[in-house]
Structure 1
Amino acid sequence: MAADQPNIVLLFADDAGYGDFGFQGSQHFKTPHLDRLAKSGVRLTQFYVSGETCGPSRAGLLSGRYQQRFGYEEINVPGIMSPHSKLLGDEMGLPTHLKTMGNHLQDLGYRTAVFGKWHMGVADRYHPLRRGFDEFYGMRGGARSFFAYENLDQVAHENWIERDFENYQEHEGYLTNVIADEACDFIQRSDDAPFFAYVSFTAVHTPMQADPNDKDTFPQLEGTRRTAAQMMLALDRACGKIIDKLSDLGLSENTIVVFTNDNGGPMDTNGSSNYPLSGIKGTQLEGGIRVPGIISWPSKLKGNSVYESPLITLDLLPTFVAAGGGDPEAIEGLDGVNMLPFLQGKTDGRPHETLHWKMETRGAIREGDWKLLRYPDRPAELFDLAKDPAEQNDLARQHPEIVKRLFRDMFAWELELERPLFMLRRAEEGWSSRRTDQFRSPPAKEY
Structure 2
Amino acid sequence: MSEADVSRRSALAATGAAVAAGAVLGTGGTAGAETVERPFRADARSRAGRPNVLLILADDLGWADLSCYGSPHIRTPNLDRLARDGVRFTDGYSAAPICSPTRFGLYTGRYPGRLRGGLEEPIARPDELHGIPPEHPTLASLLKDAGYSTAMFGKWHCGYLPWYSPLRSGWDTFFGNLSGAVDYYSKISGTEVDLYEGEVPTEDLGYYTDTIADRAAAHIRRRHDRPWLVNLNFTAPHWPWEAPGDHEESARITARSRAGDARALWHEDGGSLDTYRRMVEAMDAAIGRVLRAVRDTGRERDTLVLFASDNGGERWSYQWPLSGGKGDLNEGGVRVPTILRWPARLRPRQVSDVPVASQDWTATILEIAGARPAATHPLDGRSLAPYLLEGARAPRHDLFWRTRDARALRRGRWKYLRAGRDARDALYDLTADPREQADLARHHPEVVRQLAARWQEIDRTLLPYP
Q: TM-score range by the shorter chain?
A: 0.7 to 0.9
Alignment partner, residue 209 of structure 1: 242
One-letter amino acid of the counterpart of residue 250, structure 1: G
2-structure distance, mates of 1:405, 1:298: 40
Partner of 1:337: 382
Alignment correspondent of 2:411: 367
Residues 146-181 of structure 1, C-alpha deviation per residue, up to 9 Å, x if partnerless?
A: 1025xx7x8445x52111122x22113211001111
Structure 1 window deviating more from structure 2 (411-420 vs 247-256): it is 411-420
Q: What residue identity is the alignment partner of 1:209?
A: E
Q: CA deviation at 1:304?
A: 0.9
Which of residues 200, 204, 229 in structure 1 aligns to 2:233?
200
Letter in 1 for 2:166: P
**Gaps in structure 1 of 5+ consecutive residues:** 81-87, 216-221, 424-447
Aligned to 2:402: 358
1:352 CA drift (Å) = 3.5
Gaps of 5+ in 2: 1-47, 249-269
Aligned partner of residue 197 in structure 1, secondary structure: strand
Distance 2:223 2:152 in 1: 14
Q: Which residue of 2 aligns with 1:320?
A: 365
Where does residue 457 of structure 2 map in the other structure?
A: 412
2:353 corresponds to 1:308: yes
- Contact kept in structure 1, 2:386 and 2:392, CA below 8 Å: yes
Residue equivalent to 1:224: 272
- In structure 2, C-alpha distance between the alignment counterparts of 1:376 and 1:41, rounded to whole Å: 41
- Which amino acid in the other structure matches residue 161 of structure 1? L
* 1:58–1:190 distance in 2 versus 1, CA, 3 Å: farther
Does residue 1:54 correspond to 2:99, yes or no? yes
Equivalent position amino acid for 1:310 in 2: P
Q: CA deviation at 1:344?
A: 3.0
Query: Does the alignment pair 1:376 with 2:421?
Result: yes
Amino acid at match of 2:103: R
* Residue type at the aligned position of 2:161: A
Q: Secondary structure at the match of 2:276?
A: helix
Residue 235 of structure 1 aligns with which residue? 283
Does structure 2 retain, via aligned residues, the 8 Å contact 1:19–1:25?
yes
Pairing of 1:19-168 with structure 2 (within 5 A)? 19-76=64-121, 78-80=123-125, 89-148=127-186, 155-157=190-192, 159-166=193-200, 168=201
Structure 1 contact 20–272 (Cα < 8 Å) conserved: yes
> What is the deviation of 1:111?
0.9
Q: Which residue type is aligned with residue 232 of structure 2?
A: V
Q: Percent identity?
A: 38
Q: SS in structure 2 opposite 1:256?
A: strand
**Alpha-carbon separation, structure 2, partners of 1:163 and 1:329:** 29
Distance 2:430 2:408 in 1: 13
Q: CA deviation at 1:79?
A: 2.9
Q: Aligned-residue CA RMSD in angstroms? A: 2.2
Task: Give the C-alpha shift of residue 303 in structure 1.
Answer: 1.0
- The yes-or-no answer on 1:395 pairing with 2:440 is yes
**What amino acid does structure 1 have at the position aligned with 2:206?**
G
| 1:180 aligned onto 2:228 | no
Question: Would the aligned equivalents of 1:311 and 1:352 in 2 still touch at CA under 8 Å?
Answer: no
Distance 1:408 1:76, change over 3 A: closer
1:253 counterpart residue number: 301
Aligned 8 A contact 1:73 1:359 in 2:
no
Give CA deviations for 1:110-134 in whole Å, capped at 9, x if unaligned.
1101101000001223111111000
**Letter of the aligned partner of 1:35 in structure 2?**
D
Deviation at 1:214, TM superposition (A): 12
TM normalised by structure 2 equals 0.81
Cα distance between partner residues in 2 of 1:90 and 1:393: 44
- Whether contact under 8 Å (1:111, 1:190) holds in the other structure is no
Q: TM-score, normalised by structure 1?
A: 0.84
Deviations 1:320-368 (A, max 9, x none): 22222224596741011222221235212x3243111011241101112
Alpha-carbon distance, 1:71 to partner: 3.6
**Hey, what's the Cα distance between the residues in 2 that align with 1:135 and 1:72?**
23
Counterpart of 2:254?
A: none
Summarize the Cα distance change of 1:90–1:123 in structure 2 as closer, same or farther, 3 Å threshold: farther
Cα 1:26–1:99 shift into 2, 3 Å = same
Distance 1:66 1:317 in 2: 12
Deviations 1:372-395, CA, capped at 9 Å, x for gaps: 112311211110111111111011
- Counterpart of 1:284 in structure 2 is 329
1:274 equivalent in structure 2: 319
Structure 2 distance, partners of 1:98, 1:105, is 13
1:329–1:121 distance in 2 versus 1, CA, 3 Å: closer
Take 1:194 and 1:411, find their aligned partners in 2: how far apart are those partners? 41
CA contact (8 A) 2:118 2:130 kept: no
Task: Look up the SS of the partner of 1:318 in the other structure.
Answer: helix
* Cα distance in 1 for residues equivalent to 2:374 and 2:122: 30
What displacement does 1:60 show? 0.4
**Which ranges of 4 or more aligned residues in structure 1 deviate by more than 6 Å?**
none
Matches within 5 A, 1:288-299: 288-299=333-344
Report the CA distance shift for 1:353/1:90 in structure 2 as closer, same or farther (over 3 A): closer
User: What secondary structure does 1:48 align onto?
Assistant: coil
